A and B are shown apart, each in its own frame.
Chain A
Amino acid sequence: MQKMNPYKIDIGAVYSHRPNQHNTVKSGSFLALEKELVFDIDMTDYDDVRSCCSGADICPKCWTLMTIAIRILDRALRDDFGFRHCLWVYSGRRGVHCWVCDEAARKLSVAARSAVAEYLSLVKGGDETVRKVVLSDPIHPFITESLTVVERYFSQYALLGQDILGSKEAVDKVLALLPEDVRKKLLQYFQTEKNPETRWETLKSMAQDKRTTAKKGHYFEMEIMLQYCYPRLDVNVSKGVNHLLKSPFSVHPKTGRISVPIDLKELDRFDPFDVPTISLICEELDQPKTEEEQEDTMEIENKKEAGERRKMRDYKRTSLAKYVKLFDQFLEGMAHSRKGELLKNSDLQKDF
Chain B
Amino acid sequence: MQFYSRRKKLIGNSQTEQLYGHCLQFYGQPPIENISLSEFETFAVDRLKLLKTVENLGVSYVKTSEQYTKKLDAEFSNLNFPYKIEADDRKPQTGPSEYEKRRKDHISHFILRLAYCQTEDLRRWFIQQEIDLFRYRFNDLPSKNIREFLEYNNLHYHTISIDEKKNLMDKLINSSFAVSGSTVDCKDFYKVPFQDALDLVRTRKVYLKGGYVYIPHQDIVTIVLNDFRTRLSKALALTARSLPAVQSDERLQPLLNHLSHAYVGQDYSIQKSIGKISLEQIDPLSAKSYPLCMRQLHRGLRDSHHLRHGGRMQYGLFLKGIGLTLDQALQFWRSEFVKGKVDADKFDKAYAYSIRHMFGKEGKRTDYTPYSCMKVILSNPPSQGDQHGCPFRHSDPELLKQKLQSYKVSPSGISQILELVKGMHYQLACQKYFELTHSIEDSGFSLNHPNQYFMESQKLLVGPGAGVKVEVKREDNPATKPPNPSPHQTPGPGNLPQEVAAEITEDLDSFFQDA
Contact = CB atoms under 8 A, between A and B. Distances in A.
Given A45-B383, A125-B383, A82 B395 contact: no
Contacts of B175: 138, 140-141
B174 A104 contact: no
B396 A125 contact: yes
Contacts of A118: 201-203
Given A47-B384, A119-B201, A130 B396 contact: yes
Q: How large is the interface on A (under 10, 10 to 19, 20 to 34, 35 or more residues)?
A: 35 or more
Contact residues of B: prevailing secondary structure:
mixed
A181 interface: no
Interface stretch (B65-73, B386-394, B415-423, B456-464): B386-394
Contacts of B27: none
A280 B240 CA distance: 59
B394 A129 contact: yes
Interface string B188-219: 00000011001101111001111110000000
B384 A126 contact: yes
A232 B396 CA distance: 19
Contact of A140 (B174, B194, B380, B398): B174
A81 B211 contact: yes
B479 interface: no
A104 B194 CA distance: 11
Interface stretch (A108-116, A154-162, A244-252): A108-116
B394 A128 contact: yes
B385 interface: yes
A142 interface: yes
Interface in A205-220: none
B341 to A, nearest CB: 12
A110 B11 CA distance: 47
A79 interface: yes
Given A48-B384, A128-B395, A138 B174 contact: yes
Nearest to A236: B380
A234 B386 CA distance: 13
B381 interface: yes
A119 B208 contact: yes
A126 B209 contact: no
Q: How large is the interface on B (under 10, 10 to 19, 20 to 34, 35 or more residues)?
A: 35 or more
Interface string B363-402: 0000000000000000011111111010100111011000
A100 B199 CA distance: 21
Contact of B207 (A114, A129, A141): A141
A173 to B, nearest CB: 14
A134 B214 CA distance: 24
A99 B203 CA distance: 23
B198 A112 contact: yes
B208 A142 contact: yes
Contacts of B396: 125, 128-131
B177 interface: yes
A232 B201 CA distance: 18
Nearest to B196: A112
Contact of A144 (B174, B176, B202, B389): B174
B202 A119 contact: yes
A124 B381 contact: yes
A326 to B, nearest CB: 25
A127 B209 contact: no
B171 interface: yes
B310 to A, nearest CB: 9
B173 A138 contact: yes
Nearest to A48: B384
Given A104-B211, A112-B195, A126 B202 contact: no
Interface of B: 171, 173-177, 194-195, 198-199, 201-204, 207-212, 380-387, 389, 391, 394-396, 398-399
20 contacts: A45-B383, A80-B208, A80-B209, A82-B210, A108-B195, A111-B198, A112-B195, A115-B198, A115-B199, A118-B201, A126-B382, A126-B384, A127-B387, A128-B387, A128-B399, A130-B398, A138-B176, A142-B204, A142-B208, A236-B380
